[in-house]
Amino acid sequence: MASSSKKYGFKMSLSTGKNHDNGILTLSTYGTAFLVMVQVISRILTFMVNQLTLLYMSPKILGIAAQLELYSITTLYFSRESTRASIHRQPSATFKVATRVDNDRYEPSTIDGGIDPIASQTVVNISYISIFLGSVLAVILAIFYLRVANEEASQTPYFRESVEIIGISCFLELCSEPFFAIVQQLMLYKTRATVETIASVAKSVVVCGTYIWASSIGWDAGVLPFALAYLLYSCVLFSGYVFIMARHSSEGRFSFFLKPITPGNETRYLANRFSKHLISFGASVYFQSIVKHLLTQGDSMILATVSSLEDQGIYNLVSNYAGLFARVVFQPVEESNRNVFARLLNYNGTPNFGSRGVETAKAHLVDILQAYGVFSMLTFSLGPALVPTILHVLIGSQWKSSKVDNLLSAYCYYVPFLAFNGITEAFVSSAASALEVRRQAVWMAAFSAFFTLVSFLQLREWGAYGLVWANILNMALRIVWSYFFIKMYLRQHENDLTISEIALNSHTYGICALTIGIMQVMHKAPGEELYDLAKRLFFGAACAILM
């Protein structure tokens, strides 16, 4: 068992006190850096492929593709988000472990350290709930989408077939959840990054290759290439996890199949398989996830309801390009640190009321918030002027318009709010009790109603540009709520979080204001976009160094 502990890198996690906290942060830093590195490589490759795809695709097709993506995201989100949140509350290593007594059952025994087979089997079993939910939701949402889709979309070649294929791909992707649960629990970031990178690259290559081939033979493929790409992504993801993770079950003495558990206290498990604690917490999170999804994907839903397919395509293009940094950096940081905060604040499955874990979690959060503050200053001052110019150089002429430029500029103000909201909600989700999660869901429901009202008003007056600013307001409200929750939580543990602790130096704000002014008045010569871009990049780099 000791060798297994060493193999998984949990020697630090089994220690207590300061060594335990430092071990978690070390694993997190390594994992985050690795995820970001692989994300950068993956995004560069997929970016190059997508650039070719845009040459063979109209805004209308991209708009329908955005609707299909919304169908896929909604199915996956409602199927697995609550169970994934529950997994973070299950400890992965403890001094109390289990011994297999036959092929299907486990009983507790005490070993000095190691990976707990019961803990691993618990998260595997709970992940099967995602597969069941996804099977039902994929069918229901597909039927609903096919009935409410407008005539322009439904008459697109292979539209119905594409919806059906994406439904199948959602089910296949959810079948990889038992493997993902163990990857997250054991913090196997390298495994996850490798599998997801290969799947993402394969997905992009299929989209690009199919459109190029269809164009060369004069075949109108509609949105079918997107559906085939989703199907390949799910197949590669599932087969990749099976290939890499299969041996871990025998080494860790658990199974990736749904197996009964006998932990010595049957009252803790439903049907001897599902942890009642995780189900209870997951149920609390599920209502919150519904509201959160409406807030996160509300802009896409509203656009799909009241906007043309062309406008939806333009908005999708802008959100993909302007949000690239958020997906490459902020998403891995948020996901890995949600795991870190859960371990620091809920050590061995119970809230860690000692000051050490809370103090370490707070210091880690402050470091991230300060780093995000510097990024925000750079984005506010340089982004609105640089990003539209960069996009002009990269995309085809059919995408160049003042509408795209205005959307890109507004999105540059939106991305930092995404970052702050992601990391603060990661802390909240790790620290909150089931009751506090339900309270948060109520507040999110209020934010959702407010966001919907503002979005419709802004969309009617300003179009998609107004929708971005409605999103900014929505994120600001969520950040404020999370800040006050964190402040309350820290005070309960004889600590606090003040604005001065996360604020930057005054000269940073001054340089930011000066840079914004200079960028606004800097002359832009018509027809000299490359020269103008180089000039702005040089000035921006100088300002970044001064900050």
Can you tell me the mean pLDDT for 235-239? Answer: 97
Query: Measured between alpha carbons, how far is 206 from 49 in angstroms, rounded to an integer?
Result: 9
Predicted pLDDT at 236: 97
Can you tell me the mean pLDDT for 417-430? Answer: 93
**The amino acid at 74:** T
Reply yes or no on whether the pLDDT at 102 is more than 90.
no
Q: How many CA atoms lie within 13 Å of 107's alpha carbon, on the beta-carbon side?
A: 2
Range from 31-35, 175-179, 427-431, 467-471 carrying the lowest mean pLDDT: 31-35
Range from 20-34, 40-54, 73-87, 524-538 carrying the lowest mean pLDDT: 20-34
Query: Which is more confident, 326 or 73?
Result: 73
123-143 confidence digits (pLDDT tens): 999 999 999 999 999 999 999
Can you tell me the mean pLDDT for 427-434? Answer: 88
Query: Which is more confident, 363 or 531?
Result: 363
96-100/106-110 β-pairing? antiparallel
Predicted pLDDT at 27: 59
Determine the 3-state secondary structure of 350 from DSSP.
Answer: coil
Reply yes or no on whether the pLDDT at 476 is more than 60.
yes
Mean pLDDT over all residues of the chain?
A: 80
Range from 170-174, 275-279, 336-340, 488-492 carrying the lowest mean pLDDT: 336-340
Predicted pLDDT at 351: 53
Query: Which is more confident, 131 or 24?
Result: 131
Predicted pLDDT at 29: 61
Predicted pLDDT at 294: 76
Predicted pLDDT at 395: 65
458 exposure class (CB count in 10 Å sphere: 0-12, 13-18, 19+): buried
**The amino acid at 526:** P
Determine the 3-state secondary structure of 99 from DSSP.
Answer: strand
Reply yes or no on whether the pLDDT at 522 is more than 80.
no
Which residues, listed in sequence order, are joined to residue 269 by a DSSP beta bridge?
Answer: 275
Predicted pLDDT at 45: 66
Highest mean pLDDT among 30-34, 314-318, 507-511 belongs to 507-511
Predicted pLDDT at 406: 83
153-187 confidence digits (pLDDT tens): 889 999 999 999 999 999 999 999 999 999 988 87
Report which secondary-structure segment, H or E, holds 97.
strand 96-100
How large a percentage of the chain has pLDDT more than 90? Answer: 29
Predicted pLDDT at 52: 72
How large a percentage of the chain has pLDDT more than 70? Answer: 79
Query: Which is more confident, 478 or 62?
Result: 478
Query: Which is more confident, 201 or 173?
Result: 173
Task: Using pLDDT thresholds of 50, 70 and 90, give the confidence band for residue 94.
Answer: very low
257: closest CA among 242, 268, 267?
A: 242
Predicted pLDDT at 517: 81
Q: At what angle do helices 59-87 and 177-185 cross, to 10 degrees?
A: 60
Predicted pLDDT at 490: 93
Reply yes or no on whether the pLDDT at 12 is more than 70.
no
Query: Which is more confident, 6 or 319?
Result: 319
Highest mean pLDDT among 112-116, 380-384, 393-397 belongs to 380-384
Highest mean pLDDT among 87-91, 161-165, 261-265, 466-470 belongs to 161-165
DSSP symbol at 93: B
Predicted pLDDT at 409: 86
Query: Measured between alpha carbons, how far is 64 from 311 in angstroms, rounded to an integer?
Result: 11
Evaluate whether 322 touches 408 at the Cβ level (below 8 Å): yes
Predicted pLDDT at 35: 65
Can you tell me the mean pLDDT for 278-296? Answer: 82
Reply yes or no on whether the pLDDT at 109 is more than 60.
no
What values do phi and psi take at 269, rounded to 5? -125, 140
Q: For 232-264, what is the HEC assignment?
A: HHHHHHHHHHHHHHHHHHHHHCCCCCCCCCCCC
Range from 193-207, 231-245, 362-376 carrying the lowest mean pLDDT: 193-207
327: closest CA among 12, 44, 22?
A: 44
Query: Measured between alpha carbons, how far is 27 from 187 in angstroms, rounded to an integer?
Result: 8
